[in-house]
Amino acid sequence: MSGIPVVLDMDPGVDDALALMMALNSPELDVLAVCTVSGNVPIEVATNNGISILGMLGRLDIPVYRGSERPLKREPVHAAEVHGPGGLGDTELPIPDVEPSGSVTEFLGKILSERPGEVTVIAVGPLTNLARAESKRRGILQKAKQLVVMGGSIREPGNVSPIAEFNFYADPDAARAVVRSGVELTLVPLDATHQVQIGRSELDRWVDGKGFAEAHFVRGSMEPALAYTDRIYGKASFCLHDPMAVGCVLRPSIFQTTRTSIDVEVEGELANGQVVADLRPFVDDRHRKGVSINWVTDVDADAFKAMFKDRVLPE
């Protein structure tokens, strides 16, 4: 039986790479394609990294589509301090001589219209590609079976600003467009992803004694983020943001979700990219401001870590 058909939209980026590794090592999923977007790193780097990771895993059968090189309106922002200038931490993978398969917008339009209600889209970078696909073909996102997005923060502080998470901050206009598209959206915000952090000692336990390429990649890719968090927060830790979105599709039972209504701020000088959730207790659901979505509030962190480790770093 073939797995759940999924399309991964990402800005690899270290945790994106780990999410891709987890997805490819999960027989429950049938990864149809990788779509890249400017975010953690510029689009060329993200696209080369997508191809390189597939090469490392022997999966160059999976097409990579090159996506948006800049947000809908804002100037591009990147996160080299966390992911390293090459986007994969301290690792450098060979770049197979493979060209991207074409435009993301056309691919998304094609696959979602040819297989309505079947394909799950897992988006773990800025939502520029999805917004462009929706703008080109109104209603196309609603043909996805489900859209799982790693992004935003609701009750949790932001990571790139006091109140905004990187993916939504990098392209707030795209995030708003996707939220307002009417697609069935499951949001995996920092509220949930901050519950799953890996420190150096746990990472050592995971990779020590494993001589295979993936183990070297996991350790080397996480190093700049561990050094950055050590410097900034005084405690080295790595958040498995993007793998959590994959985990939501693999084992929804270890996640807790609730319905809420959200919108995305696009004008604020201080609030750019903020997720504004209508949590007012005295307002009934029919009158809440914003769009109703599935909000992933919590996760069984131990169960998720065990699943991630078993898929990415099998004994």
Binding residues for ligand RIB (CB under 6 A): 11, 13, 15-16, 39-40, 124-125, 150, 159, 165-167, 241-242
Among 13, 50, 67, 126, binds Ca ion (CB under 5 A): 13
Instruction: Annotate 93-148 with DSSP letters as a single string.
Output: ----S----SBHHHHHHHHHHHSTTTPEEEE-S-SHHHHHHHHHSTT-GGGSSEEE
Q: Is the Cβ of residue 100 or residue 273 nearer to ligand RIB in the bound state?
A: 273
Q: Which is nearer to ligand RIB, 15 or 265 (CB)?
A: 15
When asked if residue 243 is in the footprint of Ca ion (CB under 5 A), the reply is no
| Pairing assessment for the beta strands 4-10 and 120-123 based on DSSP bridges | parallel
Taking the C-alpha atoms of residue 49 and residue 52, their distance in angstroms, rounded to an integer, is 5
Q: Beta-carbon neighbour count of residue 32 at 10 Å?
A: 19
Indicate which of Ca ion, ligand RIB, none lies near residue 224 (CB less than 5 to 8 Å, by partner kind).
none
Encoded amino acid at 4, one letter: I
Shortest reach from residue 125's CB to ligand RIB, in Å: 5
* DSSP secondary structure code for residue 65 in this structure: E
C-beta of 63 vs 189, nearer to ligand RIB: 189
- The reply on whether position 89 binds Ca ion by CB under 5 A is no
Give the H or E element holding residue 157. Answer: none
Q: Which of 78, 83, 194, 241 is catalytic?
A: 241
Stretch that binds Ca ion, among 3-11, 175-183, 215-223, 299-307 (CB under 5 A): 3-11
Distance CA 98, CA 162 (A): 40
Window 109-138: residues binding Ca ion (CB under 5 A): 124-125
Contact 249, 148 (CB under 8 A): yes
Rule CB under 5 A: which of 16-75 touch Ca ion? 16
- The nearest distance, CB 124 to ligand RIB, in angstroms, is 5
Residue 166, contacted partner among Ca ion, ligand RIB, none, CB below 5-8 A by kind: ligand RIB
Q: Which stretch binds Ca ion (CB under 5 A): 4-12, 44-52, 62-70, 292-300?
A: 4-12
Question: Given the structure tokens 């966390």, which residue do they identify?
Answer: 82
Q: Which position's Cβ is nearest ligand RIB?
A: 166
Query: How buried is residue 280: exposed, middle or buried, by Cβ count under 10 Å (0-12/13-18/19+)?
Result: exposed
Backbone dihedral region of 60: left (phi > 0), alpha (psi from -120 to 50 degrees) or beta?
A: alpha
Residue 159 interface partner, choices Ca ion, ligand RIB, none, CB cut-off 5-8 Å depending on type: ligand RIB
Active-site residue flag, 241: yes
Which of residues 90 and 118 has its CB atom nearest to ligand RIB in the complex? 90
Residue 4 or 77: the one with the smaller Cβ distance to ligand RIB is 77
Look at residue 165 and give the partner it binds from ligand RIB, Ca ion, none, a contact being a CB closer than 5 to 8 Å depending on partner kind. Answer: ligand RIB
**Residues 19, 60 contacting (CB under 8 angstroms):** no
How many angstroms separate the CA atoms of 235 and 226, rounded? 8
* Residues labelled as active-site residues: 241
Q: Give the interface with Ca ion as residue ranges (CB under 5 A).
A: 11, 13, 16, 124-125, 242
